[in-house]
Chain A
């Protein structure tokens, strides 16, 4: 067997591995060294640098940026997970809206920044297109991978926001279910407020007490049942009082109708009154006429007597003459 001298190959392999490890690992120390080395390289090598060196420079820059972007993405994913955990909470009263909105804002900014960085990286790759095809492919693959990671993160972010809105709606519904009774009382007209003030105070005491129970956070289901029973009692009282109120309103309506009908009938009575007055006038007038008639009839006899006397006188004269 022949001993082949592969020392040079060995050296080259070590060199390549060393450069690869210092470029691709992304360890802080190595990156620092690389950064320190780069100005040295820049300072030492002007203009016509060997391709290896420039490639190494470009590769170093590229992988540094890619590494930074990857680290940002992982941080954002961690924050997103925390936000998911916060948004999934279903307690009614222990919600932390300030924290959630802050976290949402931060994540949104992070995603925008990462987006910009990826765009820069892509531009960088396009500008520094090397002749080495595989290196080009590698860089474009890296960019695509970073982009897809960012896309999945933003999808997750969108899902979390949806979950959060849904939970907020649910919690609002449940909150209304408990505070439903006190909300209903707020719609009652002010005229009945003395009647309802004491009631409202009592129920508010009850609901406050219930709020305390809820926030102690024990066996929630059982508490819900008990609260429903309290609510049943309170609700039955409320319905009874409402029926009383409606009865009173109906009675008021009836009274009003009564007054209206009486007013209408007053008009009728006035007409009857006028009619009777007319009757009286007519009958009085007729009576006067009859009296006059009677008077004239009785006085007419005298005239008739006189006329008859004159006729008889003429008759007598006629008879005496013939």
Chain B
């Protein structure tokens, strides 16, 4: 380090190799980490992206040739893709909004001390530990009128005219996976928001209570500002996550009926593993990646401007 600093002053009379060694020192130190990142993360990514520009069909031994932007042109005309994109927005929007709302309520409830809170906390976080495929199957059965109770309940309280399976109703099918996803994802918000809630100093609430704030005013002027950064980051993470999260849909509806529950991620899965068209699947994945990147940049930008205003 000291040598690197002294090297900046005046003309350096040390031999060239020595200067080269000094100049490259920091790069050499970080090289192992960089090499690891490149091989583990960037190489597969690059290969995956390259598929998008190649004709890659698993069962066709002559495929693999470069085809330029053909896949993307096909995507632009692909009705299913556009439907899936629209479905993705619904799926992600409702799932995140409901998970967040219930997660926040749960976190607020668990933040107050009560008898048996430890047990309640453990139980509330349980869904998170259930494998997504299992919870998908579980909910699919629950929605199934032959084995599950939910259609009968809905019929019983008069929400449905007959105890049918909502998963096979084109207008309602999306709600099946969304409900399963909400159930499964509430703990994520509850855990992170609870952690943030518990880091708020109690005496702020006490000071506000003395200042005359009602519980709701305390929530607005203390809890919310404290939670805001956590909310921003978790909602962003969760949005990207859920937009990419096809497990429940694949298990519960497999995109049907009539692609009504097909989201982009499940469409990619279908293209790759049912049609075995890896090239096309890759191209769709790239579009999704770009869209999500634009979304995250937007959020980051929004956050920066909000923070600057503070």
- Do these two chains really belong together in a complex? no
